[in-house]
Amino acid sequence: MKNINFQGMIKKTSICNHPLVHRLMDAEAQKENRGGDDKKVVAEIMARCFVPASITAPSWEGFHFAGQEIRIREAMDCYGAVVWPSALVLCYFLETNVKQYNMVDKNVIEIGAGTGLVSIVASLLGAHVTATDLPELLGNLQYNISRNTKMKCKHLPQVKELSWGVALDKNFPRSSSNFDYILAADVVYAHPFLEELLITFDHLCKETTVILWVMKFRYFT
């Protein structure tokens, strides 16, 4: 793996490895004894979720963030088109830490945006958002972002293709890629992809860029 010195590359880096990521929607973990504060926050996050009342399998899930009802269309046969627990944690983090991480008029890019939930919330909080993912996911990503941000956001979000480590100079030239925040939620499922992710971080970051990265560790190798 390429040796990247994050301290030299980014003046301030925030890695949001929230302990709730290890508990959300985990049936076994929910049986364990937890502190009152954790229980309260988990309950608050899960209270933001709702599904349509129907006897058939729903094609979308609903969420309440940034004062809005957000409806997300998912594709259960694709890892990148499902709302993962870390996305809920990051949305909650952004909403409840607006003083420390103010999104208003900030340039924000989401890596591995998937269904677009995090990008939608960042947009509703006032950011200039660029939501990125692999080409096969852009259709559903664009659909979700358009239906949930139209006439609701200060800045219209953009959707762009981004394959980690591929054609970065062409698609995201350093001269015009001035991002204040990079958002990422549950974007790494296997270690071989870490090198490409770090190369992409390296390319997109400037000295003052803040990375908010939420993840659940699934592999211990």
Q: What is the pTM of this model?
A: 0.78
pLDDT of res. 73: 92
Q: What is the CATH T-level fold of the domain 9-214, as seen in this structure? A: Rossmann fold (3.40.50)
> Domain-by-domain residue ranges, the chain?
9-214
DSSP per residue over the chain, as a string?
-----HHHH-SS-EE---GGGGTTT-HHHHTS---HHHHHHHHHHHTTEE----SSPPSEEEEEETTEEEEEE--TT-GGGS--HHHHHHHHHHHH-TTTS--TT-EEEEES-TTSHHHHHHHHTT-EEEEEE-GGGHHHHHHHHHHHHTTT-SS--EEEE--TTSSHHHHS-TTT---SEEEEES--SSGGGHHHHHHHHHHH--TT-EEEEE-------
Q: What is the pLDDT of residue 74?
A: 86
Question: Given this model, what pLDDT does residue 155 score?
Answer: 96
pLDDT for the residue 176:
87
Q: How far is CA 68 from CA 4, 9, 48, 71, 160, in A?
A: 39, 36, 10, 10, 24
Backbone angles phi and psi of 75, in degrees to 5:
-130, 105
pLDDT for 27 equals 38
Residue 194's pLDDT is: 85
Amino acid 7: pLDDT: 34
Q: Which residues of the chain have pLDDT under 50?
A: 1-31, 53-56, 221
